[in-house]
Amino acid sequence: MPRNTLETDVIDLAQAIGLLARRVRAAAASHGLSLTESAVMARLAKEGPATTADLARAECVKPQSMGATITALEEMGMVERKPHPTDGRQVNIELTAKGAAVRKSAKDAKRTWLAEAIAQLDEQDRETLFKAGEIIKRLVEL
């Protein structure tokens, strides 16, 4: 059997990582959040309150698009607008208690699915997978 080329192996790896990421995201799909909405909530949870413009820059979208995302999250009760602490002209977007709870629930659903899937592997495959995870982490840090 001929050996794959590096290019073929890279394509296969990228596809496998993409499929895994989509499957993990699907585990939390019952929360009804889009990828952008989830990303905004994650950013607010990690970095704290931010303006719509800051969020748009961080997510590489237009401020108008981010405004629509914020409005949708606000209507669901996931975020709220608060006065900016130092600039009265601006408004900060903050995660609400409901938003934090939904985010935690979605995160738990993803981890539960992944843990259950990994538990079905044999010990050798689990060790290989975890070593691959360490290598992938090093790749992203390059």
pLDDT at 28: 81
pTM, two decimal places: 0.74
Whether 25 and 35 have beta carbons less than 8 Å apart is answered as yes
The CATH topology of domain 32-95 is Arc Repressor Mutant, subunit A (1.10.10)
**Domain edges within the chain:** 1-31+99-142, 32-95
Write the pLDDT tens digit of every residue in 14-65: 999 999 998 988 888 767 788 889 899 999 999 999 999 999 999 999 999 9
Q: For the chain, what is the mean pLDDT?
A: 91
pLDDT tier for residue 2 given thresholds of 50, 70 and 90: low
- 74, amino acid identity: E
Whether 120 and 34 have beta carbons less than 8 Å apart is answered as no
Average pLDDT value for residue range 66-89: 92
CA torsion sign for 13, 14, 17, 18 is negative
Beta bridge partners of 89: none
At a CB cut-off of 8 Å and minimum separation 6, what does 72 contact?
Answer: 37
Write the pLDDT tens digit of every residue in 17-31: 999 998 988 888 767
